[in-house]
Structure formats: structure tokens, C-alpha cells
A = this chain, B = another copy of it.
Amino acid sequence: MEVGEEWIVDAFGCEPHLLRDASCLQSIVKSILRDTSLHSLHEGYWHTFAGEGGVTGLVALQESHLAVHTYPEYRIATFSLYCCRIGCGWSWDEKLKKALGATTVTIVRVERGRLPATTSSNGMPTKMEHSREG
């Protein structure tokens, strides 16, 4: 049993000007929530860093949260979608290539609140499902 899943998504090779455009990122967040039938609890907290800096966006959901951070200097955008139900998958690869010009998207799924079966005190990796589509 787990209490939810977290999708850890990193997009590489994005267009830098889009990573400084909060409205572009807000539009992506809206698409994610619409397509996955998730519900925001508020407008979200958005912060655009000064100068050549990127954008941070945090949205609390009825079903947990969605976070985005961008790094225009590295052409990277990272997303974390934490969902307290199973099956919140989204077409990250296709959609982020289209919306941000990403060339490579990595996706990691981590089960949250799942106690490892082992009783050892040694490290045991949490089950992960990972795909890299470039």
C-alpha cells in the first residue's frame, strides 16, 4: 500500500525565454491539472527570479501538489507532481517538447508512503519506474 505517487520530471534543452515566461509555465500547469483531473486549492504561488533567473511555481492540490522550477541558464525545467491517488500519468515527453522546445525529458515515478518490505536497516531502493525519452 502507498499513499500516493510522485512524478519527478526533468526537461532538458528547453527554450530559455520560455523558462522565464511565467504565463507559459502557468499554461502548462493548467493543462496538466485539466488532463489528469486534479484540482487546485488556490491560484498557486508564483515567483519570477530577477535578471536572467527562472520561475518557481507551487500549486497545492486537493490531491497533493505540483511544483515547477526553471533554470534558463541551463535550459532545464523540472516538475514534481505529487498525487495522492494512483494513475496521474501525463504525456510529459510529448507535451514538454511541444510547449518548451525540450529535446530530452526524463521521468521518474516514486511511490510515496510505501514501507519497504525489508526489515533490514540497510538501504533498499524504493520501487521506481523510470523512462527516458530523448
Contacts and interface: CB of A to CB of B under 8 A. Distances in A.
Interface residues of A, number: 50
A32 interface: no
A67 to B, nearest CB: 5
A90 interface: no
A128 to B, nearest CB: 6
21 contacts: A3-B71, A4-B78, A6-B80, A56-B60, A56-B64, A58-B67, A65-B67, A65-B69, A80-B80, A106-B116, A106-B126, A108-B125, A108-B126, A116-B132, A120-B132, A121-B132, A121-B133, A123-B129, A124-B130, A125-B125, A125-B128
Given A4-B78, A80-B80, A108-B110, 8 more contacts: A8-B112, A41-B47, A42-B45, A56-B65, A80-B82, A118-B132, A119-B134, A123-B130
